[in-house]
Structure 1
Amino acid sequence: MLTTTKKKVETFIHPAGFIEQHYTGLQTLNSVLAGLKELENHVKEVVREQGKPALILVDTTGLAKVDLSRRMLKARKTGTRLMRQLHFERAAIYGPLAVQILVNTMARVGGVHKRIRVFDQRAKALKWLQSRE
């Protein structure tokens, strides 16, 4: 029997030049940390190749559950640290309300809430990401 396992986090450079990341299924601490590392590497690559801060679009609509437990604390701390350190112009994240609240809180704690916005739909996230407001 042939089984295929889909990655829980996929990160790639969209043809339009921004970084796109998709989270799907049930996430573990290791899968989230691996996704954050992928994002960090892609941001460095885009900055090096394009010579300007990166644009980031993150899709969390495929998450099976949003784990806010203590076991994910390291992922939240790492995410907040990367929000401060990564060289990006803006990041748009879309997905369930729990993710929106979590990301908004982390962005405020990280002091980057003007460069990170959360949305419930991809179209709204893309519109803001590509605008100059």
Structure 2
Amino acid sequence: MKLNEAIEQIKKEGYKTTGKRKDILTFFAEADGYRTAKDLIAYLEPLYEGISFDTVYRNLHLFHEVGVLETTELNGEKNFRISCTEHHHHHFICKDCGKTKEIEVCPMKEVQQSLGNYAIEDHKFEIYGLCPACQ
């Protein structure tokens, strides 16, 4: 998802697109991989002196809820990235830097066969490790 698409999605859901919200989305649109709320706060503090954790977390939750941010758990902390909507794929995620690499392989055909008559509603496939730069 591109920055403009994310902004349009927020508007479509009936939410205001304030300067602060656009700056949050810009941070994630420019990031190469998953980032933490702490990373975001460090980025926003020079722009918005005294920005609160509550404001940041409230917006992160909203953006995830409307589908413009994806989340994953890394080292016991929630991490976020701009949603990928171009095509179906999965990710390798570096546990050190949060950088991601697309994986085109999807194991769902095998999983569906082994689950028989279960109704699968969604799935997420992630592989964790260290990218070449962090090894």
TM-score, structure 1 length as denominator? 0.27
Structure with bigger strand share is 1
Structure with bigger helix share is 1
Which is greater in Rg? 2
